[in-house]
């Protein structure tokens, strides 16, 4: 009888703990701008996508290694009347300042992709500040436009990185749709991956040096326009204030 009562107490105690965990998960997931419950701890998240009823999406390009296809990409977006977001590494910006100017002059947004393209979760705060500050400054000095967005190299981040970026006035941006163009997929494979995964508020990741990106992009844009999607820069997609973060990286407008 004693053991039966003990087991019953253990059972109800476990149920109570489980229920408390579920409640905590949902409460913490929506408690602050970047806070989510992850593995028993509060973890800060970048913006993966935006929760919205509007059929708006953002195309983004990471720029770090060259410019072989960049003119073609700019021509395509001009022809399709699409504005997007480029994330530039400092050493790329220093090597190709004329491309920063071209991108900005075409009406596109430019964010920082760090200074040296490191795994930034391995850096201390002073190193993070240097990576973000110097990379931000070269873009602003070259284009005359303020930098407000940051994408971590390799998609690598931790709480310290997101907190420090926010202190510097930067929104940390991930992506919800990865084209995998960096794997040199064919244009058809890139097209299929992207159009199948896009939904309202998606942020799509491309690279300006993707081997078949420029080949795939026109069909992707036309297909998604045909489905009613509007293309906007990330800075026009995200909420600037009064938002919470979902556990999946969704940025949600507060009521």
For the stretch 71-84, pLDDT in tens is 999 999 999 999 99
pTM of the full structure: 0.85
Same structural domain, 143 and 71? yes
Residue 178 domain-assigned?
yes
Residue 130 domain-assigned?
yes
Same structural domain, 12 and 132? no
Count of structural domains, the chain: 2
Residue 255 domain-assigned?
no
Same structural domain, 74 and 31? no
Neighbouring-strand partners of residue 3 = none
Q: How far is CA 112 from CA 42, 54, 78, 89, 98, in A?
A: 26, 27, 22, 6, 16
User: What's residue 159's pLDDT?
Assistant: 97
Same structural domain, 34 and 60? no
Same structural domain, 38 and 112? no
User: What's residue 79's pLDDT?
Assistant: 98
pLDDT digits 0-9 by tens, 37-69: 444 446 799 999 999 999 999 999 999 999 999
Same structural domain, 149 and 214? yes
In the predicted structure, residue 9 carries a pLDDT above the cut 70: no
Same structural domain, 13 and 61? no
> End-to-end distance of the chain based on CA atoms, in angstroms?
53
CATH of the domain at 101: 3.20.20.370
Residue 23 pLDDT grade (very low, low, confident, very high; cuts 50, 70, 90): very low
Same structural domain, 33 and 154? no
Residue 98 pLDDT grade (very low, low, confident, very high; cuts 50, 70, 90): very high
Residue 8 domain-assigned?
yes
- Enclosing domain of residue 124: 49-237
Residue 185 pLDDT grade (very low, low, confident, very high; cuts 50, 70, 90): very high
Residue from 140, 132, 134 nearest 164 by CA: 132
Same structural domain, 163 and 116? yes
Secondary structure (DSSP) of the chain:
-HHHHHHHHHHHHHHHHHHHHHHHHHHHHTSSSSEEEETTEEEE--B-EE--SS-EEEEEEEESS--TTHHHHHHHHHHTT---EEEE-HHHHHH-HHHHHHHHHTT-EEEE--SS---GGGS-HHHHHHHHHHHHHHHHHHHS----EE--GGG---HHHHHHHHHTT-EEB--SEE--GGGT--HHHHHHHHHHH--TT-EEEEETT-TTHHHHHHHHHHHHHHTT-EE--HHHHS-SSSEEE-TTSEEEE--
The stretch 197-207 carries a mean pLDDT of 98
In the predicted structure, residue 119 carries a pLDDT above the cut 80: yes
Burial of residue 23 (CB within 10 Å: 0-12, 13-18, 19+) is exposed
Same structural domain, 85 and 39? no
* Average pLDDT score over the chain: 88
User: What's residue 34's pLDDT?
Assistant: 44
The stretch 143-160 carries a mean pLDDT of 98
- CA 222 from chain centre, in angstroms, equals 23
In the predicted structure, residue 18 carries a pLDDT above the cut 80: no
Residue 136 domain-assigned?
yes
List the structure tokens of 123. 């850096």
- Long-range contacts made by residues 136-142, C-beta under 8 angstroms, separation at least 24? 136/112, 136/168, 136/170, 138/90, 138/93, 138/94, 139/88, 139/93, 139/100, 139/110, 139/112, 142/93, 142/97, 142/100, 142/101
Residue 153 pLDDT grade (very low, low, confident, very high; cuts 50, 70, 90): very high
Same structural domain, 34 and 115? no
Whether 112 contacts 129, CB under 8 Å: no
User: What's residue 43's pLDDT?
Assistant: 78
Same structural domain, 202 and 108? yes
Q: Is the dihedral angle over the CA atoms 143, 70, 161, 38 positive or is it negative?
A: positive
């Amino acid at each position: 009888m004693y053991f039966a009562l003990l087991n019953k107490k253990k059972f109800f105690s476990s149920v109570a703990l489980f229920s408390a965990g579920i409640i905590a998960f949902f409460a913490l997931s929506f408690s602050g701008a970047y806070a989510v419950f992850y593995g028993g701890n509060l973890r800060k998240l970048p913006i993966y996508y935006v929760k919205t009823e509007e059929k708006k999406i953002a195309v983004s390009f990471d720029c770090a290694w060259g410019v072989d296809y960049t003119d073609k990409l700019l021509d395509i977006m001009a022809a399709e009347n699409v504005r997007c977001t480029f994330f530039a590494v400092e050493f790329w910006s220093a090597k190709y300042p004329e491309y920063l100017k071209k991108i900005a002059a075409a009406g596109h947004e430019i964010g920082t992709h760090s200074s040296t393209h490191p795994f930034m979760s391995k850096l201390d705060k002073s190193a993070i500040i240097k990576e973000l500050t110097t990379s931000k400054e070269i873009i602003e000095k070259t284009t005359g436009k303020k930098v407000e967005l940051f994408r971590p190299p390799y998609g690598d981040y931790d709480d310290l990185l997101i907190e420090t970026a926010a202190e510097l006035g930067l929104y940390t941006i991930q992506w919800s749709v990865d084209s995998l163009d960096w794997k040199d997929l064919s244009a058809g494979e890139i097209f299929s991956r992207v159009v199948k995964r896009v939904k309202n508020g998606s942020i799509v990741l491309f690279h300006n040096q993707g081997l078949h990106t420029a080949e795939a992009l026109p069909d992707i844009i036309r297909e998604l326009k045909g489905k009613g999607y509007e293309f906007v820069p990330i800075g026009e997609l995200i909420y600037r204030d009064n938002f919470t973060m979902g556990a999946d990286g969704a940025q949600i407008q507060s009521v």
